[in-house]
Amino acid sequence: MVSTKAPEDAYTAEPFLPERGGLPALRRAAAECRGCPLHRDATQTVFGAGTANARVMLVGEQPGDQEDRQGKPFVGPAGRLLDRALAEAGIDPADAYVTNAVKHFKFTRAEPRKRRIHKAPTLREMTACGPWLAAELAVVEPELIVLLGASAGKALLGSSFRVGEARGAVLEREIHGRAEKLVATVHPSSVLRAQDDADRKAAYEGLVSDLKVAARALS
Ligand code: URA
Ligand code: SF4
């Protein structure tokens, strides 16, 4: 019997991965990914940005509204805040490969034609998209991984990951058979969501302080 199951129902990007090639081959293949239903409503795949010899890999959650439109990670408000925090911590953007746990924007619309509101990816979607992140890690082989928020942590270290417990220290974990060094911190969007100026300042300083731990681990 002919299967009528759509590829996205399998919830894995695996069949879309290229057999060989570096970042350009991965990027081209990811553009065609239908490994989960998120590609349907999003504009395009937002693959990682940076060079294969980057020393540090920064992992966010998933593209937001601006990233979905422009096709590049961290180019919206969270990205501007991240750039500022990286500069303050002394991490050279040229040393960084920036990517996300999930490569398509997930959103809801409150009303027709209204602003698209980000929705957190499920563990199932992060697992489906995981092969892309694994492939990026295998090519870039960063000296250090920076986990930006809970989703990045859960995607790479499992669902029991908690930012509050893990942040600000160098962790050593085996991921896909390779010993990795990691530093976890909050997601830059959480700084933007702070209730008032005092909370925002404290959250931003916490982010910078964790990124300084990453910078020291690199030097
Ligand atoms: N938030 C993320 O996690 N990633 C982006 O690329 C942008 C915002
Ligand atoms: Fe593929 Fe990931 Fe997009 Fe799902 S979110 S379609 S797994 S690239």
Domain segments of the chain as ranges? 12-218
Task: Give the phi and the psi of residue 207 in degrees, each rounded to 5.
Answer: -60, -50
Structure tokens at 55: 């020393």
How many angstroms separate the CA atoms of 89 and 3, rounded? Answer: 52
Where is 185: in which H helix or E strand? Answer: strand 178-185
Q: Which ligand is nearest to the CA of 61?
A: 1
Mean pLDDT of the chain: 96
Residue 2, pLDDT above cutoff 70 = no
Residues lining ligand 2, CB < 6 A? 13, 30, 33-36, 38-39, 45, 102-104, 128-129, 132
pLDDT confidence of residue 3: 60
pLDDT confidence of residue 152: 98
Residue with token string 């492939």? 135
Residue 128, pLDDT above cutoff 80 = yes
Q: What is the mean pLDDT of residues 131-152?
A: 98
pLDDT confidence of residue 173: 98
> Of the residues 102, 127, 151, which should be mutated to test ligand 2's pocket, given the most ligand atoms within 8 Å of the CB?
102
Residue 93, pLDDT above cutoff 80 = yes
How many angstroms separate the CA atoms of 151 and 61, rounded? Answer: 5
Pair 62, 36: CB distance under 8 Å: no
Query: What CATH architecture does domain 12-218 belong to?
Result: 3-Layer(aba) Sandwich (3.40)
Structure tokens at 185: 């911190």
Lowest-pLDDT range of 49-63, 106-120, 173-187: 106-120
Residue 153's CB is within 10 A of a number of other CB atoms, namely 27
Q: What is the mean pLDDT of residues 75-88?
A: 98
> Of the residues 8, 17, 28, 104, which should be mutated to test ligand 2's pocket, given the most ligand atoms within 8 Å of the CB?
104
For residue 145, how far is its CA from the centre of ligand 2 (angstroms)?
21
Annotate 30-45 with three-state secondary structure: HCCCCCCHHHCCCCCC
Beta bridge partners of 99: 59
Task: Give the phi and the psi of residue 68 in degrees, each rounded to 5.
Answer: -60, -40
Residues lining ligand 1, CB < 6 A? 60-64, 67, 73-74, 76, 78-79, 100, 189
**Share above pLDDT 90 across residues of the chain, in percent, rounded to a whole number:** 93
For residue 104, how far is its CA from the centre of ligand 2 (angstroms)?
6
- Who's near 151: CB < 8 A, 6+ residues apart? 60, 61, 62, 101, 102, 120, 121, 126, 187
For residue 142, how far is its CA from the centre of ligand 1 (angstroms)?
20
> Of the residues 47, 133, 189, which should be mutated to test ligand 1's pocket, given the most ligand atoms within 8 Å of the CB?
189
Task: Give the phi and the psi of residue 191 in degrees, each rounded to 5.
Answer: -65, -45
Lowest-pLDDT range of 4-8, 82-86, 150-154, 198-202: 4-8
pLDDT confidence of residue 115: 85
Residue 217, pLDDT above cutoff 90 = yes
Structure tokens at 59: 């992992």
pLDDT confidence of residue 1: 58
pLDDT confidence of residue 139: 98
CA atoms within 13 A of residue 52's CA, in its CB half-sphere: 10
Q: Which protein residue has the closest C-alpha to ligand 2 atom 8? A: 103
How many angstroms separate the CA atoms of 174 and 206, rounded? Answer: 26
